[in-house]
Every structure is written in structure tokens, then in C-alpha cells.
Amino acid sequence: MKQLIEDNYNSIVKRGLITPETGTSDFIMKLEEEVQEYIEAEKFTLPNVNEELADIILVCLNIAKHFDIDIEQELKNKIQINNKR
């Protein structure tokens, strides 16, 4: 998973879409855009619905990478919390 996160982040940085100045609000706007695209694909049963879901996940992974969050560990922690409920 770590390599997937790194590869994805680096590809977006290379395209100039993420810079050291990219802030939380920039990521939130991108996430909102991707969620809206997913909603539209789902609503109209478009063939790219799976791709749109992947876009949402990749944006979330970019947020974690950009802000030095160990998302793999956070996911494991959250699963443990959910299992205790």
C-alpha cells in the first residue's frame, strides 16, 4: 500500500497539481469534485463509476501523504475500533 500511495502522490506532484503550498481547502475542493463526479456516474449508471470511486480514494490517500498521516495505520486503528462496537 505504501508504494501505491507514493506512486500516486508523485504522479500528481509531477503534474503540478500538488505543491508544498497545497492546503487543506485545496484538497477538500478536489474531494468534493470527485464525490460529485461519483454521484453523477452512479445516478446515470455510467460505466466509469468504479473509476470515480477510485478517484475519491486516491484523493484521500494524497491528503494523508501530504500531511504525513500514516493512513495504513489509521485504517488498522479504525478497523479495531469498529470491531469493538
CATH number of the CATH domain containing 37: 1.10.287
- pTM here is 0.93
Number of domains in the chain: 1
pLDDT digits (tens, 9 = 90+) for 10-59: 999 999 999 999 999 999 999 999 999 999 999 999 999 999 999 999 99
CB contact set of 67 (below 8 Å; sequence gap of 6+): 24
Q: Give CA–CA dist 68/85, Å, rounded.
A: 28
Q: Which domain holds residue 73?
A: 2-84
In this prediction, residue 71 carries a pLDDT of 97
Q: Band of the pLDDT at 73, cuts 50, 70, 90? A: very high
- CB contact burial 41-68 (16+ within 10 A = b; e otherwise): beeeeeeebeebbebbebbebbbbbbee
